[in-house]
């Protein structure tokens, strides 16, 4: 489908339309920003854990992952 994005993991593929891909990219970019900034608006470690299915997560790794995925989604549209 024109303007869609396919997300694949092994045997399962999910397709999302362009508007949803743009929305997801914006959300991922904002999450990356909130992981990076200092101060009271920064996502806390417990909040980060919730975003990562309750598991401990490396803040820098998640921040870079979110930023790179956001950029990839934006580049496709």
pLDDT in tens, 2-24: 566 666 656 677 788 989 999 99
What residue spans define the domains of the chain? Answer: 5-75
Q: Which value, in Å, is the radius of gyration of the alpha carbons in the chain?
A: 14
Q: What is the pTM of this model?
A: 0.78
What pLDDT was estimated at residue 3?
60
β partners of residue 56: none
Q: How confident is the model at residue 1 (pLDDT cuts 50, 70, 90)?
A: very low
Q: First-to-last CA distance in the chain? A: 13
């Amino acid at each position: 489908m024109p303007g869609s994005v396919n997300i694949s993991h092994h045997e399962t593929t999910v397709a999302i339309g362009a508007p949803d891909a743009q929305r997801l990219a914006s959300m991922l970019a904002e999450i990356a920003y909130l992981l990076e900034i200092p101060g009271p608006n920064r996502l806390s470690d417990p909040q980060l854990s919730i975003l990562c299915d309750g598991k401990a997560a490396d803040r820098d790794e998640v921040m870079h992952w979110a930023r790179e995925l956001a950029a990839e989604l934006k580049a496709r549209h």
